[in-house]
Each structure stands twice: as C-alpha cells, then as structure tokens.
C-alpha cells in the first residue's frame, strides 16, 4: 500500500474515483462532441479559461486603475485606509455583473426576440442604465452620509464655539 | 464558504435539471427526446406526473433562477483560487496531475453549463449545436468532476467555516495566501457581502418572471419581465404564430381537427368542438427557459372525451399531437397515458372567457397539468391515439 502511495501520490481510492469520473466524462463527452466537435471543444476549454484569462485581467486592471486614481493625496506614507475605493467598486461590480449575465438582451444581440415573444427588445439597455445610475447615486449618498458622520464632532464643536462667542457678546 | 454554497446550489441545479429532462417524457417517443443517444444516462427516467400541476413550474423556475443567482458565487470561487492556476510544477505526482485534469473538466464544465444556460434563456442561440444536447451531456461531464472535487475537498471546506479556536486552519499550506500582500481595501466579510449583494441584485431583476402576476414587473432585465398585452389573452407567449410559420389559411374556416385511433377517424370543425361538453382547468404555462405564468382559466374538450369519440373507453393510451406549425423541434409531441387520462387535460378552445388568440394557439391547443410549455402544443390539427412516433 505504501509502495502504491509513494509511486502514485495518493491512496488507491483516489485513483479509483478519478478514473470513474473520467469514464463518465468520456461516455457523456463522446455524445457531447458528436456534432460540431471542434466548436464544442473550443467552447468547453474557452469556458474553463473565460474567468481566469479574460474576466480576471479585466476587473483586476480596472480595480487597480480605480485605486490609483483614488489614492490618498498624502503620498505613500499616509496611514489612511484605502476603503474609499469601495464606494466606486460596489456599484461598478453590481452593474458589470448584470451586464455580464444579460448582455445579449441589453446590447440588443437577439434579433428575433420580439418576433418570437411579442415583447419589446428595446427596453433592456435603458433599464440597465437606470439601474446603474441608481447604484452610483446610492453609493454617493452613502459616501456623503459617512463623510458627514465623520465630521460631526468637529462641526458640533465649531457650533458650540460660535454659540459661546455669541453668548459672551 | 463559497464552496459549500456551490455544493448545495449545484446539487439542486443538477437534480432540477434531470427532472426537467424527465418532464419531456423522452423515453416515450423519439420526437419527445432531444438527446436520443443518451444510453445509460437516461437510467433514472420515470413517467412525469400531472399532480401537483405546478411541479414543473416550481422545479424549472428554481433551476433557472438559482443558476443565475449562483453566478457571482461561482466567479468569486474562481477568483479565490486563482493562484492555483500558476502552480509549479504543473504536476507534483501522478495523482496531482490527474486531479488537475479533473479540475479542467470541473471548471470548463461549470462555465459551459452556465454560459449555455444563460444564452438559451435569452434566445441567443450562438452555441455550437442543440441546446438540449450541449446542456445535458455537458452536465454529466461536469457532475463527474464535481463529485470528485467534493469528495477530495469537503473536509477542508467544513474546517474553514468551523468557528475559530476549535480547529485553526493552516491557510498558508493551501498556497492561497499571498506572501507579499497589498494593503487591504476590503474585509473578508465585506468581500463576501459584495458577492451576496451581486446575487441579490440578480435575484431581484430575474425572479419576477417565474413568480408572475404583479411581481413580473420587478423582473426588469429578465427576458419575460414584460407583459405582451392585456385582456384575457395578454399573458406570456413562448413562440408567436408568425415566428413558427402559421399562415391565415392554416387556422381559418378550413381548419379541421382530425382524431384518430388506428383506422377509426373523426373530423371536427371548431363549431363541432364547441358543441361538445366543455370543461374548465386552471393551469399555468411553464417554460423550460424558467419563466411561467400564474394560473389561466382554460376551457375546452377533455382529451378523454376526444378519445371516446374514436371508440377508446375510460383508459385511453398515449396520443401523438400534431400542429399546423412549420418546422421547429416541438411541432409535434407525444403525451403519456397518465396525461391523457387526467380530467384536467384539455384541448382548449378558450382562455379566461375569450377565444384563444392566434399567438396562444387558435383555434385549439393542448393544456396538460404539469407538462413543459412546449408540450402544450398550439394550433393542433391532429390527435393520433396509440400511435408510435
């Protein structure tokens, strides 16, 4: 047993399970590839790489650019946490996610949609833009409220000072 | 955490997907089966029941809506394991190499299933082949790798969500912790919250098309979030008369329904059908694409009464339904005997008190409780009882 483990790298059960799954994949895969074998193979491998090689670089670069643009003005020595980037990141993420799922309708790619369903194909782009606008507006409102809450002690002190001065007069 | 959500979610997707295949009664007739080469993969098939009548509406609504809601979870899972892609050496041992090959089937299979599903519900048929073939066999390739992955990783996933202190997780050994991390810009809880927010947003703009009624308005980005019209016939349409080549002459005064049982045949006009005893059934329309309507009140002739016209008693056999529509995979379908014998199964002539509109199958359409929408054949011209197809 330990000899097998040394040569293979895991228990015989591991090998058995993997081979079972490959047998199933082969049985279904032969049927999957029966028509346009190349097309299906490209779609399958493409689907495996879609996130890692397309989406990830795209959102990573966007996120880095946002962080760079929003970097604290105090220079690299500043201790301010970089959390403010999230006021941009959250609405952008949700908006991009909705586009990622519903792009064929939003970008009017389905020419036969109205003929088939008797529903308008022209509403989706406008609706997505309105949702995006609402998301950014809500985020801006949160940022505003947070900023006011953060400066409240200072404002209260200033008000008290003014009131004090008035009373002294 | 993400892994455990996917474990539950994908299991539900797989089960509801298999149920959807069974709902077509593919083993009953060749024309019901979109994947006739299935072989052993159809081992689980059973007669699709007519009760509860909302069963397929529920299972398919869950299948499509849950699939959409899980997309951010799947993306976050892929994001969290990205360092594994650059693992070096690519295979430390034979077992490790096989496991990585299995991961290609896992990740490729997941992406393939989600992408084909999302495109199909938007009628964007750009994938290389029949949706049914790709989505069904792709699911089996994916699920084999999924079971392997769950078996190898379940213990680790459970350890990761156990309350801290009981068993510390040596995260560093997993190779997913950066040796040189950048300043944090979001907490772990915040990142998970972002994924949850994404799922919630997708749920809100989608689920209304499956709930129907007032909630349909909320499905602002889903394909069936609008109403096609108002009045008795103003509910959702899968394929309009124009889109499947129905001509005025097909459904005009010359239209006849032919009912056959071997050599016995009855030919009926629309007026003759209306003169037969009329029955009512409150049934929804539920599509494989996940959308559905609330119950509509259909009225027409029961299928058992039509069977009796050609000499079939109280236990009629299956029936082949043929439509006037030209082409398309679902211009005909075979209904099983349990569907024919259900008293709620109608050849409907009216809906909600009005004559059927052309887009809803005028002069006559099938309505069977619990059947997928495409088996509620529209523009019916012929019923052949007991026929092989």
B277 and B365 belong to one structural domain: yes
For residue B315, the domain's CATH number is: 3.90.420.10
B147 and B41 belong to one structural domain: yes
Question: By C-alpha distance, which of B323, B312, B319, B310 is closest to B337?
Answer: B319
pLDDT for B171: 57
- The interface pTM score, or ipTM, of the predicted complex is 0.93
Within a domain: residue B57?
A: yes
Within a domain: residue B235?
A: no
B314-372 pLDDT, tens digit per residue, is 899 999 999 999 877 789 999 999 999 999 999 999 999 999 999 999 999 999 999 99
Task: Give burial (CB, 10 Å; 0-12/13-18/19+) of A99.
Answer: middle
More confident residue, B179 or B354: B354
A-chain residues within 8 Å CB-CB of B41?
27-28, 31
pLDDT level of residue B378 (50, 70, 90 thresholds) = very high
Q: Measured between CB atoms, which of B98, B128, B223 is closest to A18? A: B98
A51-83 pLDDT, tens digit per residue, is 999 999 999 999 999 888 887 765 554 545 567
CB contact under 8 A, B141 and A115: no
Asked if A66 and A90 touch (Cβ cutoff 8 Å), the reply is no
B168 and B263 belong to one structural domain: no
- Checking phi first, is residue B3 left (phi over 0); if not, alpha (psi -120 to 50) or beta? alpha
B194 and B278 belong to one structural domain: no
Nearest CA in chain B to A119: B228
Percent of chain B residues past pLDDT 70, beyond the cut = 97
Residue labelled with tokens 């199933």: A24
Structural domain count, chain B: 2
A-chain residues within 8 Å CB-CB of B108?
44-45, 47-48
A-chain residues within 8 Å CB-CB of B209?
none
**Tokens (6 digits) for B133:** 């073939």
Residues 6 or more apart whose Cβ sits within 8 Å of residue B206: B65, B68, B69, B219, B221, B222
User: What distances in angstroms separate CA B58 from CA B122, B214, B234, B281, one per listed residue?
Assistant: 20, 18, 22, 19
Domain that holds residue B257: 242-385
A2-51 pLDDT, tens digit per residue, is 889 999 999 999 999 999 999 999 999 999 999 999 999 999 999 999 99
B203 and B291 belong to one structural domain: no
**Tokens (6 digits) for A44:** 């399958």
Chain B contact for A21 (CB, 8 A cutoff): yes
Query: In the predicted model, what is the mean pLDDT of residues A157-163?
Result: 86
Residues 6 or more apart whose Cβ sits within 8 Å of residue A84: A70, A143
B279 and B186 belong to one structural domain: no
A-chain residues within 8 Å CB-CB of B150?
none
Asked if B366 and B18 touch (Cβ cutoff 8 Å), the reply is no
CB contact under 8 A, B93 and A9: yes
pLDDT for B388: 65
Nearest CA in chain A to B106: A48
Q: What is the 3-state secondary structure (H, E, C) of chain B?
A: CHHHHHHHHHHHHHHHHHHHHHHCCCCCCHHHCCCCCCHHHHCCCCCCCCCCCCHHHHHHHHHHHHHHHCHHHHHHHHHHCHHHHHCCCCCCCHHHHHHHHHHHHHHHHHHHHHHHHHHHHCCCCCCCCCHHHHHHHHHHHHHHHHHHHHHHHHHHHHHHHCCCCCCCCCHHHHCCCCCCCCCCCCCHHHHHHHHHHHHHHHHHCCCHHHHCHHHHHHCCCCCCCCCCCCCCCCCCCCCCCHHHCCCHHHCCCCCCEEEEECCEEEEECHHHHHHCCCEEEEECCECCCCCECCCEEEEEEEHHHHHHHCCCCCCCCCEEEEECCCCCCCCEEEECHHHHHCCCCEEEEEECCEECCHHHCCCCEEECCCCCHHHCCCCEEEEEECCCC
Looking at the predicted structure, is the pLDDT value of residue B167 above 90? no
Bridge partner list, B286: B292
Interface of B with A in 186-245 (CB under 8 A): 186, 190, 194, 197-198, 201-202, 205, 220-224, 226, 228-229, 236-240, 242-243
Within a domain: residue B229?
A: no
Chain B contact for A6 (CB, 8 A cutoff): no
A72-118 pLDDT, tens digit per residue, is 765 554 545 567 889 999 999 999 999 999 999 999 999 999 999 99
Within a domain: residue B151?
A: yes
Domain boundary at B189, B209, B229, which? B209
Looking only at the bridges linking them, the beta strands covering B257-261 and B264-268 are antiparallel
B40 and B166 belong to one structural domain: yes
Domain boundary at B193, B209, B225, which? B209
């Amino acid at each position: 047993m330990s000899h097998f483990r040394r040569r293979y790298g895991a228990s015989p059960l591991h090998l058995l399970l993997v081979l079972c799954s490959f047998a199933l994949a082969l049985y279904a895969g032969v049927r999957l590839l029966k028509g346009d074998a190349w097309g299906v193979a490209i779609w399958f491998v493409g689907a495996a790489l879609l996130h890692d090689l397309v989406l990830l670089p795209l959102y990573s670069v966007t996120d880095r650019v946002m962080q760079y643009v929003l970097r604290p003005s105090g220079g690299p020595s500043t201790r301010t946490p970089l959390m403010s980037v999230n006021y941009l990141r959250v609405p952008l993420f949700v908006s991009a996610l909705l586009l990622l799922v519903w792009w064929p309708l939003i970008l009017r790619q389905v020419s036969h949609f109205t003929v088939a369903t008797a529903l308008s194909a022209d509403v989706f782009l406008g609706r997505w833009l309105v949702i995006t606008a609402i998301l950014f507006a809500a985020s801006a409102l949160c940022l505003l409220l947070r900023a006011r809450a953060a400066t409240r002690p200072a404002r209260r002190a200033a008000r008290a000072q003014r009131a004090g001065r008035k009373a002294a007069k | 955490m993400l892994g455990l959500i996917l474990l539950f979610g994908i299991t539900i997707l797989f089960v509801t997907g298999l149920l959807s295949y069974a709902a077509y009664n593919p083993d009953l007739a060749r024309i019901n089966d979109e994947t006739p080469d299935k072989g052993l993969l159809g081992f689980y098939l059973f007669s699709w029941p007519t009760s509860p009548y909302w069963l397929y509406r529920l299972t398919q609504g869950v299948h499509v809506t849950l699939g959409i809601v899980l997309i951010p979870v799947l993306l976050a899972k892929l994001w969290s394991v990205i360092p594994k892609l650059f693992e070096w050496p690519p295979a430390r041992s034979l077992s490790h190499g096989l496991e990585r090959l299995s991961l290609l089937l896992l990740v490729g299979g997941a992406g393939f299933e989600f992408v084909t599903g999302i495109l199909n519900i938007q009628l964007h048929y750009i994938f290389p082949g029949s949706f049914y073939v790709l989505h069904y066999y792709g699911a089996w390739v994916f699920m084999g790798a999924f079971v392997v992955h769950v078996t190898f990783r379940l213990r680790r996933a459970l350890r990761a969500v156990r309350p801290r202190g009981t068993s510390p997780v040596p995260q560093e050994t997993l190779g997913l912790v950066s040796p040189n991390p950048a300043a944090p810009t979001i907490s772990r809880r915040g990142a998970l919250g972002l994924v949850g927010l994404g799922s919630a947003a997708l749920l809100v703009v989608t689920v209304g098309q499956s709930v129907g009624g007032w909630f349909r308005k909320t499905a602002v980005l889903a394909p069936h979030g609008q109403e096609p019209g108002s009045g008795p016939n103003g509910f959702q349409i899968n394929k309009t008369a124009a889109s499947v080549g129905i001509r005025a002459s097909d459904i005009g005064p010359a239209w006849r329904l032919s009912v056959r049982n071997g050599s016995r045949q009855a030919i009926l006009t629309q007026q003759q059908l209306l003169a037969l005893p009329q029955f009512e059934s409150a049934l929804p329309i539920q599509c494989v694409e996940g959308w559905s309507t609330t119950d509509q009140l259909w009225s027409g002739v029961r299928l058992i009464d039509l069977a009796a016209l050609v000499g079939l008693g109280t236990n009629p056999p299956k029936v082949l339904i043929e439509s006037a529509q030209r082409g398309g995979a679902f211009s005909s379908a075979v209904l099983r005997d349990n569907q024919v014998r259900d008293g709620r199964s109608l050849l409907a002539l009216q809906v909600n008190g009005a004559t059927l509109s052309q887009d809803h199958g005028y002069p006559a359409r099938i309505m069977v409780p619990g059947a997928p929408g495409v088996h509620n054949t529209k523009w019916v011209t012929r019923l052949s009882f007991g026929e092989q197809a």
